[in-house]
């Protein structure tokens, strides 16, 4: 047992001072590479990152109180403006008074909002020139809003040439021209860098199995960019506080975000993703973003389909989130619901008796809702009792850090909920009170507005519907357009007319209101459901 490192202080802390042989036996059962003692063990894979965090915590506890740390400098969002003179023929700005299309880039995340009026038939790229700084890593799918109605399915994607639009003729990649006299809402979020979809094809670490550990090794360095997990990030922050010689955190530098499709988020149809498209589900701070094409399950219950077999718990919000989706079938409209305690659901309106077996387009971004105030104030203490002294030592590391790292080391977010009292209660009935959310995310330099809503309405419905009046805090100071999905309550009869719609914020005729614009008037004896989601900087 001479080859096993022992430490008298650790033996004493573990209650094993009288039994060094037992301590050595434990280490022989699960050996780990040791260099200069436990405190300096080499991190050789994700399985040791948690140990590294605990070791760093010991260092922090042993040192005097650190000196005040200068807060990190948060980068300001970059604004890129494309003049309307660089838009393609037949593509006009929704608001004729606007001179530019605006794109907001924060590190490697781009937030876009484009409102168009197509005066004549159109198919192609909407810009004659697209800035290289905004080029996506690969083709990204688009979910669009319009007022063209159910007879056309407006589809599109983003590439290094910019935004491409057309009408589907039975496949997401087979398109024809969009009819003229049409308004188009293009809005969303995409990343210029992220961890690509990639799976291990061989036993990388030699343990006789091909699993998520091999995926981690394959994806740890891609195209020269390091992907960083949450535990790696914490370990790095601790090391910086301790003073180890590590590269300081630079919030202005993009980091290749870890792709949860390379983890335990799995599609139902054998990971069948669309061709030549981005495929990622990432989390940055309190915000998750996804963009992919995939087939939904052929089985359904009351028009509710599944697209995910499993999903990582890190991606499951406290409250359900709703997003429009696009299918290439003109007889279908649909949305995806990201659930807090189950895999996401895809809900579609029944069209002419067929179901969407082709690829569907999924794109969206959502915030992890903060806990209610009463939950934040409650002191949740684990009821698990240690069964030995060594368990107590481990639980102290796992549950209560002995010396928390100063908050200024980490990027800080302040999340403020905008009051839902602004909604027009007589015209709309929220699906539930938690299905109408508008948040302001403030990182001390930039303010991002995010909203996610499920509204219901019944009776005669005109083509323009008032939603709410904006407060100054969420006023974008210019006209913005967002996709809207309209679904009827489930009905066994095929629905012949599935309307399309879009949302305007700060419209040309009333800059203080939000309106839903619908392709045709509706007479609904059952409830009509509106699904709205979007984000923008203020």
Q: What is the pLDDT of residues 490-526, one digit of tens each?
A: 654 555 567 899 999 998 888 888 999 999 888 767 7
Task: Look at residue 393 and tell me whether its pLDDT is greater than 50.
Answer: no
393 or 119: which leads in pLDDT: 119
Residue-averaged pLDDT of the chain: 75
- pLDDT, tens digit, for every residue of 220-233? 443 334 444 545 55
Superfamily of domain 414-537: Phage tail base-plate Siphoviridae RBP, head domain (2.60.40.1830)
Assigned token pair, 410 = 């980490």
Assigned token pair, 80 = 């890129």
- pLDDT, tens digit, for every residue of 239-290? 655 555 445 556 666 666 889 988 889 888 765 677 657 889 999 889 999 9
Task: Look at residue 441 and tell me whether its pLDDT is greater than 60.
Answer: yes
Nearest-10 Cα torsion for 392, 395, 396, 397: 130
pLDDT of residue 44: 41
Distance CA 508, CA 94 (A): 9
65 CB-contact burial (10 Å; exposed 0-12 / middle 13-18 / buried 19+):
exposed
pLDDT of residue 365: 97
Q: Hey, where are the domains in the chain? A: 414-537
52 or 414: which leads in pLDDT: 414
Closest CA to 58 of 303, 393, 389: 393
For residues 303 and 163, the answer to whether their CB atoms sit within 8 Å is no
Closest CA to 46 of 194, 208, 262: 262
The answer for residues whose C-beta is within 8 angstroms of residue 170's C-beta and 6 or more apart is: 328, 329, 358
Exposure on the CB side of residue 451, measured as CA atoms within 13 A: 28
Task: Look at residue 469 and tell me whether its pLDDT is greater than 60.
Answer: yes
Quick check: helix, strand or coil at residue 510? coil
Task: Look at residue 373 and tell me whether its pLDDT is greater than 70.
Answer: no
Distance CA 128, CA 324 (A): 28
Q: How far is CA 421 from CA 224, 391, 426, 504, in A?
A: 49, 50, 12, 19
Give the single-character DSSP code of 487.
E
Q: What is the DSSP string of 380-414?
A: ----PPPSSHHHHHHHHHHHS-SSPPPGGGS---E
Assigned token pair, 40 = 């300096």
Q: How far is CA 231 from CA 220, 236, 393, 397, in A?
A: 13, 9, 20, 14
pLDDT band at 173 (very low <50, low <70, confident <90, very high): low
pLDDT of residue 448: 97
Instruction: Return the axis-axis angle of helices 230-242 and 49-62, rounded to nearest 10°.
Output: 30
Task: Look at residue 88 and tell me whether its pLDDT is greater than 90.
Answer: yes
For residues 355 and 300, the answer to whether their CB atoms sit within 8 Å is yes
Backbone angles phi, psi at 431, to 5 degrees: -55, -45
193 CB-contact burial (10 Å; exposed 0-12 / middle 13-18 / buried 19+):
middle
Indicate the pTM of the whole model.
Answer: 0.74
Helix (H) or strand (E) holding 144: strand 144-146
Any bridge partners for residue 252, and if so which? Answer: none
């Amino acid at each position: 047992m001479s080859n096993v490192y022992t430490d008298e202080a650790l033996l004493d802390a573990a209650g094993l001072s009288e039994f060094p042989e037992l301590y050595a036996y434990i280490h022989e059962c699960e050996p780990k590479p040791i260099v200069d003692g436990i405190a300096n063990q080499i991190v050789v894979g994700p399985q040791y990152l948690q140990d590294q965090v605990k070791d760093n915590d010991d260092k922090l506890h042993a040192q005097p109180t650190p000196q005040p740390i200068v807060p990190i400098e948060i980068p300001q969002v970059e604004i890129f403006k494309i003049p309307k003179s660089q838009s393609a023929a037949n593509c006009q700005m929704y608001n004729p008074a606007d001179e530019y299309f605006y794109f907001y880039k924060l590190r490697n995340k781009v937030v876009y909002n484009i409102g168009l009026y197509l005066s004549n038939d159109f198919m192609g790229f909407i810009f004659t020139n697209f800035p290289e700084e905004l080029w996506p890593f690969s083709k990204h799918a688009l979910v669009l809003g319009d007022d063209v109605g159910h007879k056309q399915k407006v589809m599109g994607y983003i590439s290094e040439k910019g935004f491409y639009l057309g009408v589907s003729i039975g496949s997401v990649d087979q398109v024809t021209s969009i009819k003229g006299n049409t308004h188009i809402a293009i809005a969303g979020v995409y990343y210029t860098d992220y961890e690509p979809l990639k799976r291990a094809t061989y036993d990388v670490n030699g343990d006789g199995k091909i699993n998520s550990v091999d995926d981690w090794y394959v994806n740890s360095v891609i195209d020269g960019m390091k992907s960083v997990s949450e535990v790696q990030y914490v370990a790095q922050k601790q090391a910086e506080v301790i003073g180890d010689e590590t590269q300081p955190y630079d919030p202005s530098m993009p980091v290749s975000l870890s792709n949860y499709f390379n983890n335990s988020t799995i599609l139902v149809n054998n990971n069948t993703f669309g061709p030549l498209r981005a495929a990622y589900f990432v989390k940055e701070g309190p915000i998750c973003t996804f963009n992919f094409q995939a087939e939904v399950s052929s089985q359904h219950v009351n028009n509710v389909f599944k697209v995910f077999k499993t999903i990582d718990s890190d991606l499951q919000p406290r409250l359900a989130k709703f997003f429009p989706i696009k299918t290439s079938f003109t007889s279908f409209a649909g949305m995806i619901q990201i659930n807090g305690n189950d895999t996401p659901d895809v809900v579609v309106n029944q069209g002419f008796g067929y179901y969407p077996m082709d690829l569907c387009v999924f794109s969206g971004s959502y915030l992890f809702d903060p806990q209610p105030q009463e939950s934040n104030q409650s002191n949740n203490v684990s009821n698990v009792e240690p069964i030995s002294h060594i368990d107590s030592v481990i639980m102290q590391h796992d549950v209560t850090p002995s010396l928390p790292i100063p908050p200024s080391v980490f990027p800080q977010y302040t999340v403020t909920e905008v009051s839902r009292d602004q909604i027009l209660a007589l015209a709309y009935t929220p699906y539930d009170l938690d299905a109408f959310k508008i948040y302001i995310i403030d990182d001390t330099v930039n303010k991002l507005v995010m909203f996610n809503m499920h509204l219901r309405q019944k009776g005669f419905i005109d083509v323009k519907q008032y939603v709410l009046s904006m407060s100054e805090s969420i006023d974008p100071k210019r006209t913005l357009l967002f996709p809207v999905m309209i679904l009827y309550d489930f009905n066994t009869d095929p629905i012949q007319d599935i309307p399309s719609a879009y949302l305007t914020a700060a419209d040309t005729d009333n800059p203080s209101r939000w309106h839903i614009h619908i392709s045709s008037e509706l007479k609904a004896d059952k409830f009509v459901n509106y699904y709205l989601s979007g984000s923008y900087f203020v």
